[in-house]
Amino acid sequence: MSRETADGAASEQAVPERPAVEVDGLGVVLGSGTARTEALRGVSFTIPYSRSVGLVGESGSGKSTLAKVLAGLVPIDTGRVVIGGERFSAGTSRRRRDPGLLQLIPQDPFSSLSPRRTAGQALAEAMDPLRADARRHRSAIEEWFERVELPASAAAKYPHEFSGGQRQRIAIARALCTRPRIVVADEITSALDLSVQVEVLELLAQLRAELGLTMLFISHDLAVVRHVSDEVAVLRSGELREFGAVEQIFTAPRDEYTSRLLDSVPGAPGFRIRD
């Protein structure tokens, strides 16, 4: 992965030379006083365009904070983040961002959709934030529902009429219909049954190939991360412990913590619960 920056390089395809996401010495402090915690400390990694990076960590590792920083929901304290060439750091004012830059697919399919708005209205809001008129965008909405393998009739239904997996499909459609180049998926399968997880991951892989998406896939589940990532970042207590190609991480981890994480998965060769 080239970290060279060739500003204004007149490439015919207009494929930017810079990586899609550069995280450089990122530090985030949450809370103040006694509740003050360093959620992230000196985290650096890059995601090239059209690649998928998996971010693994246990609770309290700061992985969700990282997702929120990228989405602009949590301010940066030290270091910087460059997304699609746009630079964000501690001084950056929280100006409006182009929704096409980066979208976040939230974790909980139950809280990510307003119970009083239909699935169609949820998508319409993404397409037209001001008016959010589902009728005006009907054909586009139906097209997206088809993409995520939901029937067109889903548009008129309310969230409680869907299963968890179906809701997550709606959340995916809503995030992708703004045509973002970069998608951050925060634990999007953790609330789903295994068989539904498989379906959602299959769908995501398919859409990623179709749309050439760059993705940061956050999960506590090593198996899921292995399945969807080209590179893997291992986060613990706000620090990046290891970053490398997926096969290297899973077959020859360099960090002691990564090995321990791998051995803790039931069924893994190093997993022992009986003496």
- Give the Cα separation of 214 and 21 in Å (integer): 9
| Residues 221-250 contacting another protein, CB under 8 A | 221-224, 226-227, 250
Nearer to another protein, 223 or 245 (CB): 223
The one among 46, 52, 112, 214 contacting another protein by CB under 8 A? 112
> Is 267 a residue that touches another protein (CB under 8 A)?
yes
108 binds another protein (CB under 8 A): yes
Rounded-to-integer distance, Cα 140 and Cα 177, Å: 9
Q: Is 97 in the site for another protein (CB under 8 A)?
A: yes
Q: Which stretch binds another protein (CB under 8 A): 20-28, 137-145, 220-228, 237-245?
A: 220-228
Rule CB under 8 A: choose which of 27, 42, 75, 99 binds another protein. Answer: 99
Q: Which of 14, 15, 35, 130 binds another protein (CB under 8 A)?
A: 130
Q: How far is the CB of 7 from another protein (least distance, A)?
A: 27
Least distance CB 179 / another protein (angstroms): 12
With binding defined as CB under 8 A, does residue 260 bind another protein?
yes
- The least distance separating another protein from the CB of residue 194, rounded to whole angstroms, comes to 5
* C-alpha closest to that of 180 among 138, 211, 210: 211
Q: Which of residues 134-163 bind another protein (CB under 8 A)?
A: 160-163
Which lies closer to another protein via its Cβ, residue 108 or residue 255? 108
Q: Which residues bind another protein (CB under 8 A)?
A: 58-59, 71-73, 96-97, 99, 103-104, 106-108, 111-117, 122, 125-126, 129-130, 132, 160-166, 174-175, 178, 193-199, 202, 220-224, 226-227, 250, 260-269, 271, 273-274
